[in-house]
Amino acid sequence: MPGFRDHSLYKGHQVFLYKRAQIFVADLWGAFKGQNYGEFHDINSITIFADYIVPAVLRELGILKYGSNLSCSIDSNSEIVPGSEEEVEIRACSIYAVEKMRDLIGKKFGKQVGTSEPVSPDTFISHANAPAFSVGQMVFYLQIDIH
């Protein structure tokens, strides 16, 4: 399906991120509570959904750092062209960073994060009682969900 074809050409290589496909699977899993149509034995293999919020949060937390040109573009609200090298790098690095965070949290606390359910932005950013911070005019709430 064309809407699920989330791929770009990056330095001569096809890069597949499949954000919408992963959201679809996570939504099925959630709607059916992991049963029937929502039963996926590998649901924990879904990565963070690489959207625009996750990189903004990771940057604000100091987890992602951009070069000066990219930082200036983002800070001046310039569009990052979909499929551009910058956009692919931001999305891929966001996925990598969250996977590393998940691994480190698991090692520190002896528990796996996101092993029984999909890792979504809401797993890390949610709930009004969690610590809050803002990026521009948007306020985000941080919650790390450890199972």
- CA–CA separation, 124 and 98 (whole Å): 9
Active site members: 51
Q: Which residues are CB-neighbours of 85 under 8 A, at least 6 positions away?
A: 10, 11
- CA–CA separation, 28 and 41 (whole Å): 13
Element of type H or E holding 14: strand 13-16
Query: Which amino acid is it at 85?
Result: E
Contact between residue 124 and residue 98 where contact means Cβ atoms under 8 Å apart: yes
